[in-house]
Chain A
Amino acid sequence: MQVPVLKQRDYLIASIQAALTDADLLQLRDALVEQVGRFRSRGVIVDVTALDVMDSFAARTLRDLAHMIRLRGAETVIVGIQPEVSFAMVQLGLTLEGVATALDLEEGLAFLDKRLNVRRRP
């Protein structure tokens, strides 16, 4: 299952729609790392609201994704981690160290605007 990536202003928004296989996750990582250059994006939002499970592989791949995109000169924020998923991650000892997270898409956009010093018209 491919993850649709939406380009909005300087940002790329990837909304995970369903459970992803390991290969899907790696493909998403590589696609975003490439598209940041192609669209000269400054920020990336990965919406994981629909993700039912965040296991060690998913956590590691999202961490890698964020770090690779930072090396490409853009910022990543992971949004929409569900309460039960956050609980399971803590129990398993999985972290997204060094990766920005936000409650939802709206908060993710606000985070990027602030981080990248983007001024919006009121």
Chain B
Amino acid sequence: MASHEIRVPINSDIDIVIARQRGRELATQLGFGSSDLVLIATAISELARNIVLYAQKGEVVLSLIEDGGRKGVAVVAHDEGPGILEIERAMQEGYSTSRSLGLGLPGVKRIMDDFHIVSETGRGTTVTVRRWKP
């Protein structure tokens, strides 16, 4: 299904910029509008930053996807960090475990079409988001 896959290792804040730029390039290929491109890039930025902040390292996998004629971009942010203890709370607006910085997950969920999170304490976190081309 994934015709094109880009893997971006996330080890430091520079990789956050690289991941969102790669994602933007990929979404551009599909002909997303400029507002969508910024939304997708911003979502990738938030997800990649969570990896750096909470797990130190991980990876972001970007791919073009197709489903019944519609096309889109998928972003999988994966790490083997400590995991999120309380996912339900992390998904609440304003929730934060690291001082004034929220996880940004509710915002990411709002700006993407599909949002899926799997997290296991001590094993890591995988967040999958998709944005379909209108």
* A92 CA / B20 CA spacing, docked (Å): 16
- How many Cβ-Cβ contacts under 8 Å join chain A to chain B? 70
Interface SS majority for chain A: helix
Report whether B38 and A19 are in contact in the complex, using a CB–CB cutoff of 8 Å.
no
Q: Quick one: which of B14, B39, B101, B104 contacts A88, CB cutoff 8 A?
A: B39
Shortest Cβ distance from A87 into B: residue: B35
Interface SS majority for chain B: helix
Interface residues of B in 26-56 (CB under 8 A from A): 34-35, 37-39, 41-42, 45-46, 49
Report whether B93 and A93 are in contact in the complex, using a CB–CB cutoff of 8 Å.
yes
Chain A residues lying within 8 Å of B83, measured Cβ to Cβ, are none
Chain A residues lying within 8 Å of B102, measured Cβ to Cβ, are 56
Per-residue interface assignment for chain A, residues 92 to 106, with 1 indicating a CB less than 8 Å from any chain B CB and 0 otherwise: 111000000000000
Q: Quick one: which of B16, B39, B107, B108 contacts A22, CB cutoff 8 A?
A: B16
* A59 CA / B111 CA spacing, docked (Å): 17
Report whether B49 and A55 are in contact in the complex, using a CB–CB cutoff of 8 Å.
yes
Q: Assess whether A117 is interfacial by the CB under 8 Å rule.
A: no
Closest CB of chain B to A68's CB: distance in Å? 14
Identify the A interface with B (CB < 8 A).
19-23, 52-57, 60, 82-85, 87-88, 91-94
Identify the B interface with A (CB < 8 A).
13-14, 16-17, 20-21, 24, 34-35, 37-39, 41-42, 45-46, 49, 93, 100-102, 104, 106-108, 110-111
30 A-B residue pairings within 8 Å (CB atoms): A19-B17, A19-B20, A20-B17, A21-B16, A22-B13, A22-B16, A22-B49, A52-B20, A53-B20, A53-B41, A53-B45, A54-B42, A55-B42, A55-B49, A56-B102, A56-B104, A56-B107, A60-B100, A82-B38, A84-B34, A84-B38, A88-B111, A91-B110, A91-B111, A92-B42, A92-B104, A92-B108, A92-B111, A93-B93, A94-B107
